[in-house]
Amino acid sequence: MNIYGVYLLDNDRITLASIKKSALWRENNFRVIGSGTDPDAAAREIAALRPALVIYEWETGGIMLMKKLRAAGADCEFILLTYCQSFAAVRSFYTNGGLDYLLKPFNTQDAERALLRFHTKNLN
């Protein structure tokens, strides 16, 4: 099975570090290839690293970040990580091609479900 690159973006360094060191990635055929807290720097890194999956926190750019990356040619899936439980925000995320969303605090079981959805969608 392929090993997929994942980029993590969250405005909280402690949350980011915790998510990054989770065994979840290795167990589900992912490798964290980049992470950050600044959406502008992340956009540049994502363009250079070309991850298969970007997991990002709503507060780091909302739907505009995903639109910006898609417009720049990013060919990856997006999973939203958020405290936001607004139906309008989630609907906007899905309408613009988001794969899945995870509510904070980060939950490994929910994340595994989202990664399974990625694998199911990307079977070749």
| Containing structural domain, residue 27 | 4-121
Q: Could you tell me the pTM of the whole model?
A: 0.90
The pLDDT-based confidence of 51 (bands split at 50, 70, 90) is very high
| Confidence at residue 17, expressed as pLDDT on a 0 to 100 scale | 94
Q: How many domains would you assign to the chain? A: 1
The CATH number for 36's domain is 3.40.50.2300
Beta-carbon count within 10 A of 75 CB: 9
State residue 124's pLDDT score: 55
